[in-house]
Amino acid sequence: MVKIGLLGCGTIGSGVVELLAKEACHRNGLSIEKILVRNKDKHNNKPYGSKLTNRFEDILKSDIDIVVEVMGGIDPAYFYVKQSLLKGRHVVTANKDLIAKFGNELQKIARQNGVRLLFEASVGGGIPIIKPLSECLAVNSISEVKGIVNGTTNFILSRMANSGMTYEAALKEAQQCGYAEANPEADVMGFDAARKLAILSSIAYRSNVDYEDIYIEGINNISADDISIAKYLGCSIKLLALSRRTEKGIMARVAPVLLRNTNPLAGVADVYNAIIVKGDAVGDVLFFGQGAGKLPTASAVVGDIFDIVRHSLGNRCQVSSYEEEAPTAKVDMEGCSSDFFIRIKPRSRVEAMDKIAGLFERFEFVFPDRSKLQRPVDPDQIVFIAYDISEGDIDKRIKSLKATTSVDNVLSILRIEREDQ
């Protein structure tokens, strides 16, 4: 019998309990022995009530084989996972915050103690991506990872695009549907996606990518005008997590971008996630599915449990999804360029257009046919696309644009994902 200790029994934890109750799990000899919760009274009417404890010591002192952490956050999850590994317990976690910040350290502890730390559910919910990236595609030299990895922001942008909603209205609906937290900052500001990108990039490039080095923009400034004009241009706006191997290191960013509707990621709607990995042998590989939710995420957790049961228990191994003693990656935006979608509110339309022509060598003004727009937009604004501008140079040009007396405000600056990249 393989004995499991469960840390946390909220949405994901209860999903793990539900899936482990299935016949297939019994055939594999899996049994939950202890469940750590903060308040046992909230769970006493559940079938697993007799397994509850509010003492972590009860997990460590018992003969648990696998510790499953689904509490979320850093404190006390970091302490619990670290102590479990030091005591020679395999660990499965769905905690993206923990892995993004302490993954390299915890993997090292796991190796030193001959156990495994698996975290498939930390990125993409029920989408298999960690194991394919670290094992199935291991022979490839990965040059790029990009995708939609946050379901909350994708739902908000989808509702704005499909219904003409404002950002504020779409966010409120996401909260009412349970897709967004009361404080949605981690999602809408891009922090959640950056942590997931750090995990994927660390595996893909065999380097330790610190999520704090990733350039981040959120979707909180996306307006209905941006959505409407993007649709007119044949594009969708998505919060794109992107990392790319460059001559100078790794470029990594999370930001809203315009994707041509021919791009496979443009059609990913609502809370779904999709990730594209580019390898030198396989080319582009697309992973798609439900990026969050009780059972999809629990499915990934239980899949990791099965992996440990089949390949590790009884034959302690030292397999790691991170490279041993992997170097710290140099992560920045230096040397990268993009096309930019820019909207401004002018004081003097003619003078502002002249200023744009003097600042940008390659650009194109956009004059939308108002009859073909999803919703009316401010007719006095100026919209243009600037081509092939370096990341370091765009800030200087925008600063110069803001400084001119002919421009009242720069309303939007959004990257356009080029098909040749």
| Beta-strand pair 407-416/249-260 | parallel
| CA atoms of 81 and 23, how far apart (whole Å) | 28
Question: Which backbone phi and psi does 250 adopt, to 5 degrees?
Answer: -130, 125
Q: DSSP letter string over 28-93? A: TTEEEEEEE-S-GGGTTTSTTGGGEES-HHHHHHTT-SEEEE---SSTTHHHHHHHHHHTT-EEEE
What are the residues facing 34 on neighbouring strands? 5
Query: Is 325 in contact with 36 (CB distance < 8 Å)?
Result: no
What are the residues facing 205 on neighbouring strands? none
Longest CA span, the chain: 77
Check if 196 is active-site: yes
What distances in angstroms separate CA 148 from CA 59, 67, 254, 313, 366, one per listed residue? Answer: 36, 30, 10, 35, 27
Token duo for residue 73: 């956050």
Token duo for residue 255: 């930001």
User: Secondary structure of 397-409 in the HEC alphabet?
Assistant: HHHHHHHCCCEEE
Token duo for residue 249: 């290191």
Determine which one of 96, 146, 196, 238 is catalytic: 196
Q: DSSP letter string over 150-162? A: -HHHHHHHHHHHH
Query: Is 120 in contact with 296 (CB distance < 8 Å)?
Result: no
Query: Is 119 in contact with 308 (CB distance < 8 Å)?
Result: no
What distances in angstroms separate CA 365 from CA 139, 267, 356, one per listed residue? Answer: 45, 26, 10
Residues with a known catalytic role: 196
